[in-house]
Amino acid sequence: MNLHPGTSLIQPYAVDLDLEMGIMKNAKQHTVRRASDMSGHYADQTALEQLIKDGDPVHYEVFECLPPEEYGQIFFCISTLQPGKVGDEYFMTKGHYHTVPHTGEIYLCLRGEGYMLMKTSDGQFAYQRFHRGGIVYVPPYWAHRSVNTGKEPLVSFCTYNAEAGHNYGDIEKEGFIKRVLEVSGRPLIQ
């Protein structure tokens, strides 16, 4: 068999998810982001600081299994974003570009509701709704951030090229063009 330089031959394996709880049972990496990890991302920094003082709740968790970071391998994760607000702004993820910018990502929503906000580095903006059974295709070049507008956890299964990498720094500088706020009891993208 011809092996291609840069793509390892590894053994197949299996991983178990709890699709309702949004948990990977034997994850290789478990990332937890609390309110205190989100400084600078919300419009209302005072409300965020109060939330941190009031117990610094978990915003979201990401469970990942990490094959080699090589062409042809695929990363997959399950992400669970809690419901809540910082001021009038719904809980959200930091959002990121990929370090290899011309790689996309698939999100399959398994529970909850919300929005995927997307932007390009030259200022294009787009969004799609999250709901159970909905797939959002995030094409190459698009930064992406999840927002939970519901009352239960927003659970998504995600896959992307293993070599894609995460670039959070540019979003910290640029922001995301629009925000999702509760206005008169309903989510509004503005």
166 binds a copy of itself (CB under 8 A): no
Which two structure tokens, joined as six digits, stand for 157?
């299964």
Cβ of residue 172: shortest distance to a copy of itself, in angstroms? 19
Cβ of residue 56: shortest distance to a copy of itself, in angstroms? 30
If phi > 0 it is left, if psi is from -120 to 50 it is alpha, else beta; for residue 189 that is beta
Residue from the set 40, 102, 169, 175 that interacts with a copy of itself by CB under 8 A: 102
Cβ of residue 110: shortest distance to a copy of itself, in angstroms? 8
171 binds a copy of itself (CB under 8 A): no
Which of 30, 39, 21, 28 lies closest to 152 in space, CA to CA?
A: 21
Alpha carbon 97 to its chain centroid, in Å, reads: 11
CB contact set of 44 (below 8 Å; sequence gap of 6+):
86, 87, 88, 89
Which of 95, 27, 16, 31 lies closest to 62 in space, CA to CA?
A: 31
178 binds a copy of itself (CB under 8 A): no
Q: Please report, as residue ranges, which positions from 29 to 58 form the binding site for a copy of itself (by CB under 8 A).
A: none
Which range binds a copy of itself by CB under 8 A, 37-45, 79-87, 157-165, 168-176? 157-165
Which range binds a copy of itself by CB under 8 A, 80-88, 99-107, 173-181, 182-190? 99-107
7 binds a copy of itself (CB under 8 A): yes
74 has which bridge partners?
A: 161
Which two structure tokens, joined as six digits, stand for 185?
């009891």
18 binds a copy of itself (CB under 8 A): yes
Report the residue number, 42 or 76, with the smaller CB distance to a copy of itself: 76
CA-to-CA dists, residue 157 to 81, 123, 181, angstroms? 12, 27, 25
Cβ of residue 118: shortest distance to a copy of itself, in angstroms? 5
Evaluate whether 18 touches 34 at the Cβ level (below 8 Å): no
168 binds a copy of itself (CB under 8 A): no
12 binds a copy of itself (CB under 8 A): yes
Residue 183 identity: V
Mask of contacts with a copy of itself, 113-152, x by CB under 8 A?
---x-x-xxx---x-xx--xxxxxxxxxxx----------
